[in-house]
Amino acid sequence: MRENSNDPAPKDLPLPDIPTLIHRCMKVEEDRNLSDNSMKELRRYLNEFLAYCQSQGISSAEELTPSFLKTNADQRCMDARPTLKKAMVR
């Protein structure tokens, strides 16, 4: 429950841009003491995702759709084993 009733509800706040969300995600995982290798892989994956978003003109989480995310997963997994795609969609 919110302490200040004058604060806007989360649904009223605009979603930040994708780079900001990636930064927040990395901070959360860092605070969880994720291993160095896991952080490296997460950073690599998120940077690839950011590049894909930028190449498609997507700059905000509000613009992400299930179709866009599926296309991204399909493209990432074209030459990969089926387990990578299964891990991405879970």
For residue 83, the model assigns a pLDDT of 54
The residues that bridge with 17 in the sheet, in sequence order, are 60
Taking the whole predicted model, whether its pTM rises above 0.85 is answered as no
Q: Return the half-sphere exposure (C-beta side, CA atoms, 13 A cut-off) of residue 83.
A: 0
For residue 2, the model assigns a pLDDT of 40
Counting as low any pLDDT under 70, the low residues of the chain are 1-14, 79-90
For residue 60, the model assigns a pLDDT of 92
Q: How far is the C-alpha of 77 from the C-alpha of 90, rounded, in Å?
A: 14
For residue 9, the model assigns a pLDDT of 47
Q: Residue 53 burial (CB < 10 Å; 0-12/13-18/19+)? A: buried
